[in-house]
Amino acid sequence: MIDSKLIKRLQAVVGKQYVLNKDSDLITFEYDGSVDRSQPTVVVLPKSTNEVSELMKIASTAEIAIVARGAGTGLSGGAIAEQGGILLSLTRMNQILEIDPENQIAVVEPGVVNLELTQAVSKFDLYYAPDPSSQQACTIGGNIAENSGGPHCLAYGVTTNHVLGIEVVDADGEISWYGGRTREHPGYDLRGIMIGSEGTLSIVTKAILRLSRKPESVKTLLAIYQDLDQASAAVSAVISSGIVPAAMEMMDDLAIKAAEPAVNAGYPENAGAVLLVEVEGIAELVEEDVADIEKVMSNYNPLEIRTAKTELDRTKLWAGRKGALGALGRLAPNYYLIDGTIPPSRLVEVMSKIKEISAEYNVPIANVLHAGDGNLHPAILFDERNDKETKIAFEIGGIILKLCVDAGGALSGEHGIGIEKRELMPYMFNNDDLDSMAKLKTVFDKKSLLNPGKIFPDKTESATTTFSQSSSVSNTGKGAYI
């Protein structure tokens, strides 16, 4: 129970102004990138690792649930304090503590915004490779919690491939370091266990990140196709040819219809699909790869293949892709966003089935995807004010996620499980698998106080194709991220 005495203890750690418990303050923290809502009992904003440690000790003694939160751009309900309790906002811990250009690493606090890190190291001709489309707002701590991806993770890998070490605080307030400043570290990979654990094992308070050298040359292509099957086949062919672009993104006709009037990226609105392909590296090799990619894509009858001539052209093409979901408000008040993965070789088959599902239910589904690595993002369009439409949207969502798993894929590529997909975990894991993962949590969090109720299904629930929650419904508009 959080009473006045406990509030005073929290205030003694961080200062009175950084403990929020008025409804007018708490409402800001009751949701993330979804529209599911649950108000925390109190929000605390620590400034240091030691403050996080002291707060965890207080929560552990009082046996109160505690949820860590970054910028709140997540799309699986992971930063929502579903059971109330303490919400730990880490946005004040926003310092870049060290930049080591010689060894190409940076040491940062969890509240550092993803894009701001790249901006800070750009003067050394470096950048931070993981690039979620919410990178202008999302924080490193949240990226680590969800093992976030992004368009350029096709070639460079997701967050775990760029985190060398992390400082964490466990549920008892103990401070530990996992990993270090080098790529190799002896012993069990506890760093790897923490990354993607969605704040259920420990809270990250510092991170040592691997930086990348800016490429000598970058070329961006836009391939325009009459229909989705042609574009999907072109993606599979490029990947199977052995060429690995830095990024390979796809948008279907509905996504183009929404994005082009909003962004004016230069996508033809009558196209069935477009592919946005980027190649980076040594100038001579880039030219060779671009020629090879164009040759492969030309086998699937593109209407046109364009190459960005200037940095402005390239920026415009990417603005269309990154602004696609925010523009869906032109088509419907809400969308339910799926984040499943499949092998790229199954892309034609699965995308065709998604179109069939859309026609069968007479529900529009706009598709925006990290096509190169098979990370799908179908957005089921509907109006949440209509209960029937909402129910059907969740039913379709379950069907598509099962389709992904049946195709050899996974329930999530980068958004995490959170609240959104927890009751679907039995699609992918048997009871022994789930029990083993649950036992791991007890090693770090014996009282189950850290982000309780996330990832794992309730024992009394079974996987169905219908969702019982509205946690993954997202509002369309300017603030929509993927």
Q: Which tens digits make up the pLDDT trace of 357-388? A: 999 999 999 999 999 999 999 999 999 899 99
CATH 3.30.43.10 domain residues, the chain = 4-89
Class of domain 4-89: alpha beta
* pLDDT (tens digit per residue) in 288-303: 999 999 999 999 999 9
Q: Is the pLDDT of residue 276 over 60?
A: yes
DSSP string, 126-179: EE-----TTTTT-BHHHHHHHT---TTHHHH--GGGGEEEEEEE-TT--EEEEE
256 pLDDT band, cuts 50/70/90, is very high
Q: pLDDT of 310-364, one tens digit each? A: 999 999 999 999 889 889 999 999 998 889 999 999 999 999 999 999 999 999 9
The pLDDT confidence band at residue 465, using thresholds 50, 70 and 90, is very low
Positions of CATH 3.30.465.10 in the chain: 96-213
Question: In the chain, which segments carry CATH 3.30.70.2190?
Answer: 217-324
Provide CATH code, domain 327-475: 3.30.70.2740
Task: Locate CATH 3.30.70.2740 in the chain.
Answer: 327-475
Residue-level pLDDT at 463: 46
Spatial contact of 82 and 63, defined as CB atoms under 8 Å apart: no
Record the pTM. Answer: 0.92
Q: How confident is the model at residue 473 (pLDDT cuts 50, 70, 90)?
A: low
Rg (alpha carbons) of the chain, rounded to whole number:
22
Does pLDDT of 476 surpass 90?
no
Q: Give the span between the Cα atoms of 287 and 215, in whole angstroms.
A: 13
Question: What value does the mean pLDDT of the chain take?
Answer: 92
Q: State pLDDT tens for residues 52-91.
A: 999 999 999 999 999 999 999 998 999 999 999 999 999 9
pLDDT score recorded for residue 186: 85
Average pLDDT over residues 204-217: 97
pLDDT at 474 over 90: no
- Higher pLDDT, residue 245 or 31: 245
Is domain 217-324 in CATH 3.30.70.2190, yes or no?
A: yes
Measure Cα distances from 277 to 243, 244, 262, 325, 465 in Å.
Answer: 12, 10, 21, 19, 34
* pLDDT score recorded for residue 458: 80
The mean pLDDT of 18-46, rounded to a whole number, is: 91
Phi, psi of 152, deg, nearest 5: -85, 5
Interval 230-243 mean pLDDT: 96
Q: Which CATH number fits domain 96-213: 3.30.465.10, 3.30.1490.20, 3.40.50.1100, 1.10.10.10?
A: 3.30.465.10
